[in-house]
Amino acid sequence: MRLFGANIGFWQPWFKIGNVIREAKLHGKENAKILIMRTLIKHALASAEPKDLVIIKGWIRTRRDSKGFSFLEINDGSCLGSLQTVVNSGIPGYDQLHHLTTGASVIIKGKLVASPGSGQKWELAATEIELVGTSDAAYPLQKKGHTMEFLRTIAHLRPRSNLFGAIFRTRSRLAYAVHQFFQERDFVYVHTPIITASDCEGAGEMFRVTTLKGNIDEKPEADFFGRRSYLTVSGQLEGETFACALSNIYTFGPTFRAENSNTARHAAEFWMIEPEMAFCDLAGDMDLGEQFVKAMAQYALEHCAEDVGLFAKFVDKGLHDRLRFVAERPFQRVTYTEAVGILTSCGHKFEFPVQYGLNLQSEHERYLTEEHFKCPVTVYNYPREIKPFYMRLNDDGKTVAAMDVLVPGIGEVIGGSQREERLELLNENLRRHNLRPEDYWWYVDLRRFGSVPHAGFGLGFERLIMFLTGVSNIRDVIPFARTPGSADF
RNA sequence: UCCAGAGUAGCUCAAUGGUAGAGCAGCCGGCUGUUAACCGGCUGGUUGCAGGUUCGAGUCCUGCCUCUGGAGCCA
């Protein structure tokens, strides 16, 4: 192993030693790095010129036999496309042909040559093929299309399908884009706790974390943390403390809700992005939220073009138009009061009543963004009665500085607010919501020591991915979905 | 949790209350620079589970389970 020194990073333990040593002897030690380096299929397909020797490693998508040779489609997940490989009878490994079935894993050595067939620019003329792992007839992924429902039942294999490969590559790139967006703007990434004893009121039911046996409520002070504790439903309260020190911060991490929600837009475990800005009011908060959604749409168009093309073809025909529209056009902005006015005077019949002081229902939000404005809409300044304790009371004494960003097809994708920074008003809010100020003593302390206006929002990462890919069920944009009654895999 | 719909071969789906079928996948053979390849043959089933009605239930009834769509809660 010392033979390759610094190149050890290219060594992969399932590449057989014999092959490497043979090549090293043939071509000399100095070429060993190139010879043992595996070429990702995305790079092979993007090659500018033929190559005399490449090694690819991946899984067989399909095999088509001819007399004397076979075509193999190899995919390694590095990109949407597969590499067509021509395997002539007689090359080393061809005797394993009957094992080279859909789903089997292989290492193939060969020449990258221009393909005489239509449908691909390059193909691999194999000179040696090594069967790494067989795949028997029970392999559930076929060449033909599968339903999303079926693929959910084989969540361990679905990333090998075109669509799910594309979804999870896109998810990865968008996660990177989230960090890039905030880091470029000098936001500090804060890891707020996953286990917490505080309830970010209004954010739903919490999962209890305990090491107690039997009746867990009998003696909570005997529990691991000396009190009742839960999985976090939001990092906002902790995020505020860091914003009130580092100015602009964001969190990006797992979040848990024990709600018995059974919809295509809810999961018990999801990833949330929560920026928080000191010396910022609601207008600045809305600006950031809108810029963020636009930047993500732009990023998807620029950096996920191939996968987005697949979504546009098979999932959502209008995806390109929507992404461009979101990236380029300004969002609409209306107050809650104006929104209620639009909904009551539009003549549209709603199942639920529209009335000042009531929450906007899904059908109302969707009407605003899909029918009335036909673009993303930010609704702000909601009645204080329907919003949580931490939101800042407006000068009218009736509304709070809250905002929701609504997008077509999804509904609410961002919920945010300016926070109540005035000590007396915050304490009054806690009392009005029947919360004990002593439970929030450190949160209230922020208002005692150098309090500043500050604002932030929460954004569900999966809902963002749904919006940017057109995939309509949240279970399909998270690798292994946790929903009521289901924690498989 | 509520409302609606669905559950039949590995997958996608058929089947007036009267012998459970097709396409694809798989297996065997043929043919072909093929590309959702093609042609022939074969294999493949406790019709979600438990009861009930009936001479007879995939089909009708009751309960349960699971999935899907919508709603509520929310991100």
Give A402-426 as a DSSP string: EEEEEETTTEEEEEEEEB---HHHH
The rounded distance, in Å, linking the Cα atoms of A160 and A104 is: 12
pLDDT greater than 80 at residue A6: no
pLDDT digits (tens, 9 = 90+) for A296-347: 999 999 999 999 999 999 999 899 999 999 999 899 999 999 999 999 998 8
Mean of the pLDDT values across residues A101-106? Answer: 92
The rounded distance, in Å, linking the Cα atoms of A73 and A144 is: 14
Question: Which two tokens mark A453?
Answer: 């206006």
The rounded distance, in Å, linking the Cα atoms of A28 and A205 is: 64
pLDDT greater than 70 at residue A25: no
Residue A143 Cα distances to A60, A91, A123, A311, angstroms: 11, 26, 20, 18
pLDDT of residue A203: 62
DSSP A67: T
CA–C1' gap, A45 and B41, in angstroms: 39
CA–C1' gap, A373 and B39, in angstroms: 56
CA nearest to nucleotide B71 C1': residue: A362
The rounded distance, in Å, linking the Cα atoms of A382 and A402 is: 6
Nucleotide nearest to A146 in CA–C1' terms: B11
pLDDT greater than 80 at residue A201: no
The rounded distance, in Å, linking the Cα atoms of A406 and A274 is: 17
Q: In what order do the strands lie in the sheet with A229-231?
A: A195-196, A229-231, A208-209
Question: Which two tokens mark A231?
Answer: 């999985």
Our CA dihedral for A438, A441, A447, A453, rounded to 10 degrees, sits at: -100
Instruction: Categorize the per-residue pLDDT at A3 as very low, low, confident or very high, splitting at 50, 70 and 90.
Output: very low
Question: Which two tokens mark A201?
Answer: 């009121």
pLDDT greater than 60 at residue A285: yes
ipTM, 2 decimals? 0.92
Instruction: Categorize the per-residue pLDDT at A32 as very low, low, confident or very high, splitting at 50, 70 and 90.
Output: very low
Question: Per residue in A276-313, is it b (16+ CB within 10 Å) or e — as a string?
Answer: bbbebebeebbebbbebbbbbbbbbbeebeebbebbbe
Question: Which two tokens mark A204?
Answer: 């739903």
Bases of strand B lying below 7 A from some protein CB:
1-2, 10-13, 24-28, 30-37, 66-75
Domains and CATH numbers, chain A: 38-133 (2.40.50.140), 158-476 (3.30.930.10)
Mean of the pLDDT values across residues A375-384? Answer: 94
CA nearest to nucleotide B36 C1': residue: A144
Nucleotide nearest to A113 in CA–C1' terms: B33
C-alpha triplet A299, A177, A263: angle, nearest 5°: 90
CA–C1' gap, A133 and B13, in angstroms: 33
The rounded distance, in Å, linking the Cα atoms of A58 and A60 is: 7
Count of Cβ atoms closer than 10 Å to residue A449 Cβ: 7
pLDDT greater than 50 at residue A5: no
Our CA dihedral for A225, A231, A237, A241, rounded to 10 degrees, sits at: 60
Instruction: Categorize the per-residue pLDDT at A34 as very low, low, confident or very high, splitting at 50, 70 and 90.
Output: very low
Residue A213 Cα distances to A177, A195, A206, A209, A487, angstroms: 43, 19, 19, 12, 22
CA–C1' gap, A59 and B69, in angstroms: 35
Nucleotide nearest to A363 in CA–C1' terms: B71
Count of Cβ atoms closer than 10 Å to residue A182 Cβ: 21
pLDDT greater than 80 at residue A33: no
CA–C1' gap, A146 and B10, in angstroms: 12
Instruction: Categorize the per-residue pLDDT at A207 as very low, low, confident or very high, splitting at 50, 70 and 90.
Output: very high
Nucleotide nearest to A261 in CA–C1' terms: B73
Kind of pairing between the strands at A83-88 and A122-133:
parallel
The rounded distance, in Å, linking the Cα atoms of A288 and A248 is: 11
Nucleotide nearest to A267 in CA–C1' terms: B75
Nucleotide nearest to A488 in CA–C1' terms: B66
Q: Which amino acid is at A381?
A: N
Nucleotide nearest to A143 in CA–C1' terms: B36
- Structural contact between residues A159 and A77, judged by C-beta atoms closer than 8 angstroms: yes
Question: Which two tokens mark A257?
Answer: 């809700």
CA–C1' gap, A98 and B28, in angstroms: 13
pLDDT greater than 90 at residue A138: no
CA–C1' gap, A137 and B58, in angstroms: 28
pLDDT digits (tens, 9 = 90+) for A229-242: 999 999 999 999 99
Q: Any alpha helices (H) in A304-335, and if so which ranges?
A: 305-314, 319-328
List residues bridging with A196 in a β-sheet. Answer: A230
Question: Which two tokens mark A375?
Answer: 């673009």
CA nearest to nucleotide B12 C1': residue: A146
Question: Which two tokens mark A220?
Answer: 């909570």
The rounded distance, in Å, linking the Cα atoms of A468 and A323 is: 7
pLDDT greater than 70 at residue A260: yes
CA nearest to nucleotide B35 C1': residue: A119
CA nearest to nucleotide B32 C1': residue: A66
One-character DSSP codes across A427-457: HHHHHHTT--GGGGHHHHHTTTSS---EEEE
Question: Rg of the Cα trace of chain A?
Answer: 28
CA–C1' gap, A142 and B10, in angstroms: 10
Mean residue pLDDT of chain A comes to 89
Instruction: Categorize the per-residue pLDDT at A36 as very low, low, confident or very high, splitting at 50, 70 and 90.
Output: low
pLDDT of residue A197: 87
Q: Specify the range with the lowest mean pLDDT, choosing from A71-80, A142-151, A157-166.
A: A142-151
Question: Which two tokens mark A117?
Answer: 């067939």
Q: In the block, which residue shows the tokens 């909601």?
A: A382
pLDDT of residue A351: 86
Question: Which two tokens mark A66?
Answer: 């001819």
Nucleotide nearest to A139 in CA–C1' terms: B10
CA–C1' gap, A485 and B61, in angstroms: 29
Q: Look at A19 and A247; give whichever has higher pLDDT.
A: A247
pLDDT of residue A301: 97
CA–C1' gap, A11 and B73, in angstroms: 51
CA–C1' gap, A15 and B33, in angstroms: 30
